[in-house]
A and B are shown apart, each in its own frame.
Chain A
């Protein structure tokens, strides 16, 4: 029978153990902390990746795909990391070392450590389904919690966006809307309810958001967005804008301000059974004026109030916008930059067209001719 102590000694004799200085000299090494989550939270080595010992075999290939790459493993005092080193050798890693003395000696010798930002146990539970996705994980969720997203409109598109962004844990949501909730809104604007009929939409939406997720700070602007107030609102600092406006003057106003300030806009628009979604990322891709240099005449641009809209359509289009917003906030995936996604609810058909930047765009082109706010109502009434 072998005791633990004998097994540890046997293992240590079969693997490479290196001291801190020798470990730091291994250039290009992947440092893996194999301790438990609570130990990691109390501090770890700079640049280390956390894989608890129990997940080592299943996750190591994702962080160290090249098996000839140097790997430094550490735990509290070089016991678990010794066994871990042995395991990695069995997996075919050829340059694996266990850090002698582990984290305890490292810290005792006054070497640099990092205190990780982590989620509280409550947030860990709430966002567990995000944390399980490798592309999001704790780091991505922290980004979402730090994100500040401004919603233009708390109507058809703004409602699902507000709810899903809140559920996703976007830390701060701004909402601009001057309207009050009326009965005709309830066919589709799911952030509002019978209880809030007659209330300002921003207050109604704030109530729905807070009922869903108290982690979210909600900043309300009960006003119609204009050239006069847009700078004050944008000065509050927003990482991105989700545009669910219901009129052309606001769309062009939001575009111009966002290009000048370099704020990405997730655009969505709907009518009857059809929707359009894209992302305008200033100077990386086209802007709204590159896509639509001028608005159609009023008779070709009826609003939903005039022409109607299928109630679920803003749910679909607003959710697609939210998907783009979450990806941008977490820094993952391929956003709809330079691509206009068209959705036809009657045919249940998605199509996509390419949008290019226009060199002659009056706002984001090579020689801009519009460099300050114009009279957007007049521009759209021509």
Chain B
């Protein structure tokens, strides 16, 4: 199991949770697992087999775009951060 950190704008889709658990050996498997259990959340970040372009995904602090994308390996206990941009300075 890995911990998936949910950004504040997507907490409604995650039942209000700040973190949820998901499993998989790769990011793809993990996002598939997440989507099957929390479909509304899943579709926000992952659609048609790709990570949505406005969401950054970090596995253990590293942007998966600079690693192997959806094939990035996820270890037991890894932390996955889903991060869309926030504009507010208000």
Minimum CB–CB distance from B52 to chain A (whole Å) comes to 8
B87 touches A354 (CB 8 A): no
Which residues between 318 and 361 of chain A lie within 8 Å of chain B, taking CB atoms?
A: 342, 344, 346-347, 351-356, 358
Across-interface contacts of A314 in B (CB, < 8 A) = 89-90
A9→B42 CA distance, assembly (Å): 86
Across-interface contacts of B44 in A (CB, < 8 A) = 300
Residue of B nearest to A184 (CB): B90
Across-interface contacts of B66 in A (CB, < 8 A) = 354, 356
Decide yes or no whether A301 CB sits under 8 A from chain B.
Answer: yes
Tally of chain B residues near chain A (CB < 8 A): 26
Residue of B nearest to A301 (CB): B87
Which residues between 40 and 82 of chain B lie within 8 Å of chain A, taking CB atoms?
A: 44, 53-56, 58, 61-63, 65-66, 79, 81
Q: Knowing A273-B8, A276-B86 are in contact, say whether A347-B53 is a contact too (CB < 8 A).
A: no
Q: Which of A11-19, A46-54, A85-93, A243-251 binds B?
A: A243-251
Across-interface contacts of B86 in A (CB, < 8 A) = 269-271, 274, 276, 301
CB contact between B89 and one of A245, A294, A346 (< 8 Å): that residue = A245
CB contact between A292 and one of B10, B56, B79, B90 (< 8 Å): that residue = B56
Residue of A nearest to B60 (CB): A353
Residues on A lying within 8 angstroms of B by beta carbon are 152-153, 155-158, 243-248, 251, 268-274, 276, 291-297, 300-305, 307, 309, 314, 342, 344, 346-347, 351-356, 358
Q: Knowing A300-B84, A356-B63 are in contact, say whether A153-B18 is a contact too (CB < 8 A).
A: no
A74→B55 CA distance, assembly (Å): 62
Q: Can you report 29 residue pairs joining A to B where beta carbons are below 8 Å apart? A: A153-B90, A158-B89, A244-B89, A247-B87, A248-B85, A251-B85, A270-B88, A270-B90, A272-B8, A273-B8, A292-B84, A294-B53, A294-B54, A295-B87, A296-B54, A296-B84, A300-B44, A301-B85, A301-B86, A303-B88, A309-B88, A309-B90, A344-B18, A346-B18, A353-B58, A353-B61, A353-B83, A354-B61, A356-B63
A155→B89 CA distance, assembly (Å): 7
